[in-house]
Amino acid sequence: MPGTARLPARRNEPPPDIERLPVRGCALTWRTQSYSRGTEHVALAAIVAAGTAAVPASAATAKAAPTRCHTADLKAGFATGDDAKPEMGRTGKQTQAFIWFTNKSNRTCTLSGFAGVDMVGAQRPDGTWSLVRSAKRPTKITLGRGDTADFSIDLLPVARSTPQKEKFVPATFLVTPPNETKHFTLKWPFGGQILKQDGATHPGTYLNPVGQ
């Protein structure tokens, strides 16, 4: 992606036992107890003939480029560390929640673009709200086995006293990885309610691309 993606200032750990530290960059990955940010790379394999010297570098061939991550390759969840929880009590001002994807497969794969996110409400009139995308441009992120990438959701909380028809109370999120059709079902762990704008052109609640 041209330029450098802005990463949210607030982050948390991915799955249990993995610690996260806020670092700015264009791609987010982490391994046990640490993570790093960097750009996609393709390793080159030198061809060596048995009993002879290596073929010149110009004749080396690149490994097959990784393909996209499928839902079955991944696990997902909400980032729940203290520095990543959305401030649902800060009504009238936007806050952010983060959802992570971890590559649990034995192959390297890529994520690029926007996840699909449908919020299912707790109130009878809430129904399902399919979140719109931000105008941010996505980047391609390469995930090795055990690597993780996340994305943010901007939310606009409202007070609990807000009339029922004007608020949406999240219960579960149906999260589909980019370019996939099968989703994860994630329980919303943060409580609160947001301004109901499921029919708005420019709502205060929307999602950002993976890595942002």
Q: Where are the beta strands (DSSP E) in 22-169?
A: 29-31, 34-36, 44-45, 61-62, 74-78, 95-103, 109-112, 116-121, 128-130, 140-143, 148-155, 167-168
Q: Which residues fall within 8 angstroms of residue 122, CB to CB, at 6 or more apart?
A: 169, 170, 171
Each residue of 78-137: pLDDT tens digit? Answer: 999 888 899 999 888 999 999 999 999 999 999 999 999 999 999 888 999 999 999 999
Kindly state the percentage of the chain with pLDDT values over 90.
61
Q: Is the pLDDT of residue 176 over 90?
A: yes
195, 170 contact by CB (below 8 A): no
Each residue of 133-166: pLDDT tens digit? Answer: 999 999 999 999 999 999 999 999 999 999 999 9
Each residue of 185-200: pLDDT tens digit? Answer: 999 999 999 999 988 8
Domain 29-38+68-207, what architecture?
Sandwich (2.60)
Residue 62's pLDDT is 61
